[in-house]
Every structure is written in structure tokens, then in C-alpha cells.
Amino acid sequence: MARAIQAALLLVALSFGNFARGQNSIRCSLIRAQQNSVLITWEASPGTNYTLEETSSLHEPWRSAGVYLATTNRLATSVPLGARARFFRILQERRGPSLQPANAPQTGYAFDPRFANYYQNSAEVPQRVLSINQHLKDKGLLGELAPSIPVAEPGAYIAMVHTPAHIQGIHSIPIDQAHGATERIGVIADLAVAHVLGAVRDVCDGKIRNAFCNIRPPGHHQINSGFSYGFCCHANVVIAARFALERYPSLIKRVMIVDWDYHHGNGTQFFVQNDPAFLFYDTCAGGFYPGGDESHHGLMTGNPGNDGFVREWENEMLPAAREFKPDLIFICAGFDSKKGDLMGGLGLTARGYSLLTRKVMDIAAAFSGGRIVSILEGGYADNNGFFPPTFNGLKEAVENHVRTLMTGELQPETPFF
Ligand SMILES: [Zn+2]
């Protein structure tokens, strides 16, 4: 009797029409409870990829239980029934990697104009992401990037990292109408996570090789403060990594996070430092915000510039990465390490960001199937006293970073630097 109820529950889950972006959920044609497992069979189209996902309830995040390439007209799998496995769904890719044209973009781009709809500070301003987006458009790069579609429900993944009190705190920050804001920062922080997760999904599904997320608010300082801490609302990169580990357990077991922001990624370090699934490597300025624990690698002093960063990475980061063998790499891409940044400056130039990007790509090519997701952290106006402020250094540094992700080729120095 209990088994019959279990089978009935499973049937309900499979016909539950929850559509993931870019995928169709399909019905199974046969489901049969066995002693300690369940047999699921479905009609299939040869040459098509299917993802089986499981969860313990309809309200929790779905986790991948396997990816199947159909070679016949029928697919079957036997899934062990554990305490967690109660509900299943099968997703059919609308567009599998093999169906993409050979010249399809290999680099994704996550951006939403709504990222400009909140105001929180005279430095972390909407013009940051808007000027980057306009610059990529002016340079003709937007058409060569694959726009990432955000995941529909980021809340479950945010809740895997942040406490309810933190989430409530962020969502209760009022709209700063005096500065022209039209939306709550908490709403946009959720949207930023949704876009980052969309980029992670596309990279892990093999639709693109890597991605750049032009998002705000940033995330690498946030722990569980309940307020915007160092301009950061949600720990974007940690949530993205948890999403990848949960949703792609057979593909993603080890995640490396490289942070080249001027400031220490203290929030990221807090969440991942004791977890063997993570390697966190951070190059930042010593003795500056946010202070505190600086036990990470790569404390930079003086004006290290491109050569200083490369030397530090070759001595510390690259050997650690080769030993760790990541399945997925995140870049906490802070561009306040660039020469002439209003809030930082460690002498990196646009050429330097290309050099560092290429080094991450070399590690990704060797160990992680090329999988890189780069997420904007800091990076502010030019420190030239102009009003309104200019963002030439930021735009050119990001352009070189993105061009390198797209082509793997080192980029020349740019006019600003
Ligand atoms: Zn920073």
C-alpha cells in the first residue's frame, strides 16, 4: 500500500508542468516502484539529451539525478529511493549542444537594464553596469555573446546560503527615490543572482564555454549581515557555486573561486574556507577595507601592477589550482584593482586583465572543460575628479577581459592605460 502511494506521488511530480527555461518537462510513459528503487521509463527521441531531476518536495531545489543521451526510442533508468528522492521530473533540452551551429557564441553575457534601478552609494552607481554594457555594444561585441536567461526562482538557492533574517533584511531596504531609484535593492539583488545562475546553468549544460555577468549589486563581502555590506547584498558567487554543486553533482564536484578585486573577498572566504569542495584564491590589497582575517593567499602591497599579479599567481594560484583540479571556475571580477580606479588601484591595466583571464582559461582548459563564470564585483569611476564621472578604465578593462574569454587571445593595451 505504501508503495502504491509512493508511485502515485511520483506520477504527480512527473506530470507537474514546471518549465525550465530552454527545456521542456516531459511525461514519463511508465513508472514502477521496486523494492528499494523506482523504474522510470520515457519515450525519447534519439540524439536528444534528457535530464532526470529529483527532489524531496515540490518546493525544494531540483537536483540532477543523471543526464541521458537517447540512442533508441525509449529510455529507462532505475533510481534508488532514498529519504530525499520523492519527486522526479524529466527535462528535454529544446536545443542540445550538438544542434548548435558551429559559429554559435561560446561566451555568455548576463545583463539586465533593471540592474540600474536602485541607488545605494555615490560610488557603486548604475553607470558602472550601464557604461560597460554600452561599451560592449559600441564595440560590436554584444552580438557575438550569448545572452543568458535568468533562472525562474533564485530564492531557493539564495536560501541555501543566507539566513531568513538576512534575506528579510535585504528585502526591507527601502527604495531611495531621492536619488531616482525605482526598485528595491533587494529585488535587484535577487535578479542578479537569477542571472548568474542562468549563466552557470548554460555553462554546465555545455551551451556555452564561459560567461561574463555584468551585474550589480556585487557580493563578495556579504556574509549574513541583513544589510548591504560593502555594497554587497547576496553572496552571488557562493550561491552560484552551491547551485552548480547541487544541480550538477556528477559534473561539478570541485569549485575554484579566483578573486582579483582590490578588496578582500571576506564573505566568500567565510562561506567556503572550511569546505573541501572549494579552493578560494584571492589577490587583494593588504590593510584596506574590510580588514579582519587576511589569511588568504596573495596579499598585495605597493603597486604590484601586471607583473606583480602574474608573479604572485605563478607562485601561488597556479600550483594550487593544478593540485586542486577544479571542475568549474568562478572569477570574482573586481576591476577596482585597475590603475586609476576611484576606490582602489593596484596597477593592473587592460592588458593585465587579459593576462590574468588567459591564465584562468589555461587552468579551465586543463581541468574544467573550459568552464568559467566571471561575475562583476568592484570597479568604479576613473579617479580624475571629473563630474559627471567617467568610466573609461572600467570599460576598457572589461572589454579586454571579455574579448579574452571569447577568443583566448591576449589583448593589446588600451588607450586609457
Ligand atoms: Zn572592491
Cell of 83: 529519504
CA 69 – ligand 1 centroid, Å: 43
* Position 413 in a domain: no
CB 318 within 8 A of CB 359: yes
What is the mean pLDDT of the segment spanning 198-207? 95
* Position 415 in a domain: no
> According to the model, what pLDDT value does residue 43 have?
80
Rounded Cα distance between 398 and 379, Å, is 9
CA 377 – ligand 1 centroid, Å: 6
CA 273 – ligand 1 centroid, Å: 19
CA 333 – ligand 1 centroid, Å: 9
State whether 9 and 125 are in the same domain. no
* Position 186 in a domain: yes
CA 284 – ligand 1 centroid, Å: 9
Highest mean pLDDT among 1-10, 80-89, 97-106, 277-286: 277-286
Q: Which residues fall inside 5 Å of ion ligand 1, going by CB?
A: 261-263, 334, 336, 378
State whether 195 and 121 are in the same domain. yes
What is the mean pLDDT of the segment spanning 199-207? 95
State whether 348 and 226 are in the same domain. yes
State whether 66 and 111 are in the same domain. no
DSSP string of 246-271, one letter each residue = HH-TTT-S-EEEEE-SSS--HHHHHH
Q: What is the pLDDT of residues 253-273, one digit of tens each?
A: 999 999 999 999 999 999 999
CA 7 – ligand 1 centroid, Å: 52
State whether 88 and 202 are in the same domain. no
CA distances for 396 relative to 326, 339, 345, 413, angstroms? 29, 12, 15, 9
Domain boundary among 44, 79, 97: 97
Q: Among residues of the chain, what percentage have pLDDT more than 70?
A: 85
CA 160 – ligand 1 centroid, Å: 25
Mean pLDDT over the full length of the chain: 87
CA 219 – ligand 1 centroid, Å: 10
**CATH code of the domain in which 57 resides:** 2.60.40
State whether 179 and 91 are in the same domain. no
State whether 87 and 231 are in the same domain. no
CA 379 – ligand 1 centroid, Å: 7
CA 278 – ligand 1 centroid, Å: 21
CA 336 – ligand 1 centroid, Å: 6
Domain boundary among 62, 97, 132: 97
> According to the model, what pLDDT value does residue 396 have?
98
Domain of 53? 2-97
* Position 102 in a domain: no
CA 9 – ligand 1 centroid, Å: 48
CA 344 – ligand 1 centroid, Å: 7
CA-based nearest residue to 326, from 224, 382, 258, 383: 258
CA 308 – ligand 1 centroid, Å: 18
CA 361 – ligand 1 centroid, Å: 22
Judge whether residue 85 has pLDDT over 50: yes
CA 220 – ligand 1 centroid, Å: 9
pLDDT bracket for residue 227 (50, 70, 90): very high
Residue with the three cell numbers 555594497: 231
CA 334 – ligand 1 centroid, Å: 6
What single letter denotes the amino acid at residue 195? H
Question: How many structural domains is the chain composed of?
Answer: 2
Judge whether residue 100 has pLDDT over 90: no
Q: What is the pLDDT of residues 126-154, one digit of tens each?
A: 999 999 999 999 999 999 999 989 999 89
CA 298 – ligand 1 centroid, Å: 15
State whether 40 and 91 are in the same domain. yes
Beta bridge partners of 108: 146, 211
CA 378 – ligand 1 centroid, Å: 4
State whether 93 and 111 are in the same domain. no
CA 262 – ligand 1 centroid, Å: 5
> According to the model, what pLDDT value does residue 52 have?
82
Rounded Cα distance between 264 and 97, Å, is 37
CA 147 – ligand 1 centroid, Å: 26
Rounded Cα distance between 163 and 21, Å, is 27
CA 197 – ligand 1 centroid, Å: 22
Which residues in 294-312 are b (16+ Cβ under 10 Å) and which e?
bebebebeeebbbebbbeb
Residue 314 has, within 13 A of its CA and on its CB side, a CA count of 8
pLDDT bracket for residue 405 (50, 70, 90): very high
* Position 114 in a domain: yes
Q: How many of the other CB atoms lie within 10 Å of CB of 96?
A: 16
pLDDT bracket for residue 303 (50, 70, 90): confident
CA 34 – ligand 1 centroid, Å: 54
CA 337 – ligand 1 centroid, Å: 8
Domain boundary among 73, 97, 121: 97
